[in-house]
Structure formats: C-alpha cells, structure tokens
Chain A
Amino acid sequence: MRHIDPLSISDAVRTAVQKINTDIDPLILKAFKAGQSKGDEIESQVLDILIKNADIAHEQHLPLCQDTGLVVIFASVGIGVSLSEPLEASIQRGVAQGYIEGYLRKSVVRDPLYDRKNTGDNTPALVYIDLVEGDQMTLHIMAKGGGSENASALNMFTPSDQEEAIITWVVDRIRQKGRNTCPPLIIGLGIGGNFETCALLAKKSLGRPIGQRNGNRSYAELELKIMQALNDLNIGAGGYGGHMTVMDVFIETAPCHIASLPVALNIGCHSTRHATVTL
C-alpha cells in the first residue's frame, strides 16, 4: 500500500481551487481570441473585455468571476492507496483553506430552503469517489458557478425519441436561458445511465479539453451538429448577439435501461474552471 499524507491532499486542493479561479483555461482564452477576429463590433467588444478580464485576474490574483463557484471533485482513488483520515475530510479542509486565503467568495448556504445561512468557508464541496487500479489518486477539481448551473436541465426521453428530439430540447433550453449563463458556453450532455448518472456524466464532460471530440463517431458528429445549431441562435459572447454562443459541446454516454433515454444538460460558463491533480 502507498500512503498519501492527508495534508498533501488538502494542500493540493487548496492550491488548485485558487489557481482555477484566477487563471483562465488557456483553451478558453484561445477560443476568445479566435472568436474576436470573426465577431461583429459588439461581440468583439465583449470578447475584448473578457480577454482583459483574464489578464487582470491572472496578474492581480483576482478571481475571473465574483461567483467563485461550488467546488465539485471527482476523486479516482487507486486500490493500493492508504489514507489516515477519510478523503472527504482532507478535501473539505483544502477547500475551506483555499477559499479563505485566496479571497474567493463563499457561495454555499447550509440549508437550501429554510435556513440559507452562508457556511462561511465555501464548504461543503461535493465529492464523488471512484476506486480504480493502481496506487495513485487523481482529483478532478471544478468550481461551478451558480448562474450556468441554474439553467441546466434533465429530461427523461424515451427510446422512440431520435437525435432530433435531443437537439431540439437543447436548442430550446439555450434559446430561453443562454443569455443568463455567461456565454460563450461549454455544453455538457450526459446521455444514458439513469436519472442521476446522466447528470454526473454531463458534469464530468465539462472537464474535457475544448476541441476534443467523443471517441464514438456518431456522438462526435452529434456534438458538432448541436454546436452549429446553438451558434446559429445569435446569442453571442456576452449574450448581446453574435456567432459565438458556445465554445464546444461535449457528450458522454452510458448504457441504460430498455425503457429509458435519460439526457442531462449541464451548462458551463465562459470561465468553466477545472484542474486535474495526481498524487
């Protein structure tokens, strides 16, 4: 067994949550710059502000967005790893330290309905743990904003529905809500599994690098079809019109029940923040 020190786990989380909040994903910055040369005057102006925003955030260690997110962590833990405290405890400690020392906004309330008091340290983060081969631990760390999350949706299609039904549903949702969710967006679609699995697939897909297609040719084509349909909506970067409504569409799939075709749509904003740390 290989022991991983709990302090090294919390330190890794503490550092990562700060870095992803101040340093934009380089592929997103590249997409802004590419979009700027194609956009009309208003969209170019918006993209110019977003590029300057990324520069200021990096240089002055300010968060890209005041909504510094609810932290979601997918932990893949090797079966050869030994720990001296529950993994969840190490992670939560790192999140609290990172949000306090990084001057990040605390955006978590302790009760959803009756007692919405801020917990004060952005915990609890949401942690999903998978056991895998090996003696290492990989943490996929996200800081997910509330605006784009609020516009996300889940629909239980049935097997008689074809891809057109899914495209229409996604396009309608983005037409209605896209302007609220800080475009240009990253669209995560989880197809298959069941009610909760499709949502997790959609969430995980947001961590994929921009430009990387699904390994299955049919789904890769569907990603591109949906991207085209969404960019035809003329929502644009910032939501004031333009060709750059989404930067990419990612589909992840899983086997499902013979009666079902669950689909979840998770929306990532133009600061979609994620990092992968291996310990």
Chain B
Amino acid sequence: MRKLVLPPTETDLNELHKGDFVLLSGTLYSARDAAHARLVALISDGKPLPILIDGQAIYYMGPSPAPPDQIAGSAGPTTSSRMDKYTPLLLEKGLKVMLGKGARSEEVAQAIAAHKAVYLGSIGGAGAYLGKCITSIRCVAFEDLGPEAIYELTVIDLPAFVL
C-alpha cells in the first residue's frame, strides 16, 4: 500500500496513478463552500490569504465538534463538486492536492491535469474512522463560520483513492 506525505513533493505526485489506494499523513487544510467563497473573494480583491495555498492540500470537510476527551470529532469528506466553481483559481495559485468525495466537472479535471495536481477521494460517511486519523486540529481562519471554518489538520494514515 502506497503512503503519501502532505504537503507532497513533485516526485510524490508524479508517482501516483489513478486507482491507487493511498494512506495520507502530514498536514492539510479543511475548507468547504463558505471558506472557498471567501478565499476566492480575497484572491479576486488582490488581498492576502489566511493560509498558504501553493503546494498544499485541501480537505473538503467540516468536522463535528471534538468531545472534551478526544482530539477531533467526526471528519469525513463532503461532496467535492460543490467546490468546482472555485477550484481552477486555487489550482492557479498552486493548490496541489484536493481530498473529497465524488466526481469533478470536466473543467476541473482539465485544470487538475494542467497544473499537475491530484484529486483524491476518501470514504464518504466514514466520519468517525477518519476523525481518528487526525492527530491535531487547529482553526486557522474564518472562525465565525463554525464547522465551515478553515482548520489546519495533521493526519496519519488517512485512507483515500487517487481519482
């Protein structure tokens, strides 16, 4: 079974093939619809972003709250296609890995190929299992959005398929 460390190197990405089952470890950022809308608005206004996009990985996910005795709550992927309209611009800014569930639009698929990025699908609905792959979680932007805020996540052995 292949392992992939996030954020990835160019060599790591070149070695991935469609259909590969990978275990992800390292650092990535959660962002859903509302956070994407804000990131894209900031880019359009020429303003600085609250997180680094270049070379990084984004997880389409909004966690449930962590109970007091646990690191994270439930944390599975949301439907990626809702982020399609924002994705080409983030790829232009250097985004390299997207983790979600379900198919992407043709336009996004082409943009992913053009920017040598990769789209991964995890197991939709396996939120408790995937939450246990999180070793640290910290809100880094848009805290007012609650579950839709951007969280910096450290994960270990989070399962996903290369799509």
| Interfacial residues, chain A to chain B (CB-CB below 8 A) | 42, 45-46, 49-50, 52-54, 56-57, 60-68, 103-107, 116, 118, 120, 145-147, 150, 179-182, 238-240, 269-271
Residues of B within 8 A of A240 (CB): 121, 161
Contact B102 A271 (CB under 8 A): no
B:124-152 near A, CB below 8 Å: 124-132, 145-148
List the B side residues contacting A118 at CB < 8 Å: 145-148
What residue in chain A is nearest B125 (Cβ atoms)? A182
The interface residues of chain A lying within 8 Å CB-to-CB of B52 are: none
Identify B73's interface contact among A105, A116, A270, CB under 8 A. Answer: A105
Q: Once the chains bind, are B79 and A147 in contact (CB under 8 Å)? A: yes
B73 touches A53 (CB 8 A): no
By a CB distance below 8 angstroms, the chain B residues around A120 are 146
Given contacts A106-B146, A182-B101, A239-B121, contact A56 B132 (CB under 8 A): yes
Binary contact track B44-63/A, C-beta < 8 Å → 1, others 0: 00000000000000000111
Main secondary structure of the interface of B (DSSP, over half): loop
Kindly identify which residue among B64, B70, B121, B128 contacts A53, using a CB–CB cutoff of 8 Å.
B128
Q: Which residues of A contact B78 (CB under 8 A)?
A: 67, 146-147
Contact of A64 among B21, B70, B125, B146 (CB under 8 A): B125
The residue in A56, A66, A67, A106 that gathers the most chain B C-beta atoms within 10 A of its C-beta is A66
Given contacts A103-B64, A180-B102, contact A150 B79 (CB under 8 A): yes
How many A-B contacts are there with CB distance less than 8 Å?
127
| Interface 1/0 per residue, B95-128 and A, CB below 8 Å | 0000001110000000000000000010111111
A66 adjacent to B131 (CB under 8 Å): yes
- Bound complex: CA of A16 vs CA of B65, how far in Å? 18
A39 to chain B, nearest CB (A): 14
Q: Is B159 interfacial (CB 8 A cutoff)? A: yes
The 9 closest A-B pairs by CB, nearest first: A180-B102, A182-B125, A182-B124, A105-B64, A53-B129, A57-B128, A66-B74, A66-B127, A65-B127
Whether B81 sits at the interface, judged by CB under 8 Å, is: yes
Question: Please, how many residues of chain B have a CB less than 8 angstroms from a CB on the other chain?
Answer: 37
Does A103 contact B65, Cβ atoms closer than 8 Å? yes
B interface residue numbers (CB < 8 A to A)? 21, 34, 61-67, 70, 73-76, 78-79, 81, 101-103, 121, 123-132, 145-148, 159, 161
Could you say which of A56, A63, A179 contacts B64, with CB atoms under 8 Å apart?
A63
A66-B62, A179-B103 are contacts. A103–B73 as well, Cβ < 8 Å? yes
Bound-state CA distance A64–B74 (Å) is 7
Given contacts A62-B131, A105-B147, contact A45 B21 (CB under 8 A): yes
Q: List the A side residues contacting B79 at CB < 8 Å.
A: 147, 150, 180-181
Task: Please tell me which one of the listed residues A50, A60, A103, A180 contacts residue B126 in the complex, with CB atoms under 8 A apart.
Answer: A50
Known pairs A60-B128, A66-B61 / 13 extra A-B pairs, C-beta < 8 Å: A42-B21, A49-B159, A53-B123, A57-B74, A57-B128, A62-B74, A62-B131, A66-B64, A66-B73, A68-B64, A103-B66, A105-B73, A150-B79
